[in-house]
Amino acid sequence: MQIGFIGLGNMGGPMAANLAKAGHEVKGFDVAGTTAEGAAQAATAIEAATGADVVITMLPNGDILRQVADEIIPAMKPGAVLLDCSTVDVDSARAVAEQARAAGLGALDAPVSGGVGGAQAGTLTFMVGGDESAFETAKPLFEIMGQKAVHCGPSGNGQAAKICNNMILGATMLVTCEAFALADKLGLSRQAMFDVVSTSSGYSWSMNAYCPAPGVGPKSPADNDYKPGFAAELMLKDLRLAAQAAESADADTPIGTAAMELYRRFVEEEDGRGRDFSAMLPRLETRRRG
């Protein structure tokens, strides 16, 4: 396929490189001037989109997605697919999809899970919203960039799945960190805590696969001085998107809202920026009630 790729950052760059390596003709653009190995460099987003069978976007937020969509949709050829892999608010995803469909294009919102490592290795998971026909068109590309793509329903449902998943992740990581800090003060060793919880009813991905305690369980960012696999500020972004969606849908999400506020304080008022989201454990180790 001819592919336009807009947004060649830490995630988009490796994704575009994997598509080029697989033999697709990729033309990429990034406002920062970054490039992707094997991809031709376009001077503008419009140039990247012109003539492409699929245009992939990987952008920071919904406002920027809307701006880019305004630019590129008129330049895309009829029947092409706009595949947005950004993590943005549900309302923006649905508005851009409607704009694309009105112009005779297919539209998919397909945020990813797996981080920079997954982008480089081609092992991302895609949560996809949009038309079945557009999903089938993009399926070969998902198979190159990732290991799994789940069609979640109509436009916006990919974003909905991503933020619901990450609301669970943020809350479970917080309570896992709280439990380790409590265990410390009760005199329970972290290894004993892990051995019990990881095989009991408290097990979770945060405990079993991404343990926030250094030296316990599989290797994780905790074993690398909490250098981010998933940065705390990105978790805050996703929890804010969940809160925005909950407000729009009139859904009661008190635990998600509490998690958002704790990560907001950690990132904006403390030392959380640039650290992994599991670095809540050292934050909690020295704190007292209240």
Question: In this structure, are residues 221 and 228 in contact, taking their beta carbons and an 8 Å threshold?
Answer: yes
Active-site entry in 162, 185, 219, 237: 162
Question: In this structure, are residues 277 and 166 in contact, taking their beta carbons and an 8 Å threshold?
Answer: no
Strand partners, 191: none
Q: What beta strand segments (E) does the chain contain?
A: 2-6, 25-29, 40-41, 54-57, 81-84, 106-109, 112-113, 124-130, 146-153
Across 44-74, b (16+ Cβ under 10 Å) vs e yields ebbbbbbebbbbbbbbeebebbbebbeebbe
Measured CA distances, 32 to 28, 40, 43 (Å): 12, 15, 11
Question: In this structure, are residues 55 and 82 in contact, taking their beta carbons and an 8 Å threshold?
Answer: yes
Other Cβ atoms closer than 10 A to 43: 8
For residue 213, the SS3 value is: coil
Question: In this structure, are residues 105 and 138 in contact, taking their beta carbons and an 8 Å threshold?
Answer: no
Residue 185 annotated as catalytic: no
Measured CA distances, 38 to 27, 33, 35, 276, 279 (Å): 9, 15, 9, 31, 36
- Positions marked active-site: 162
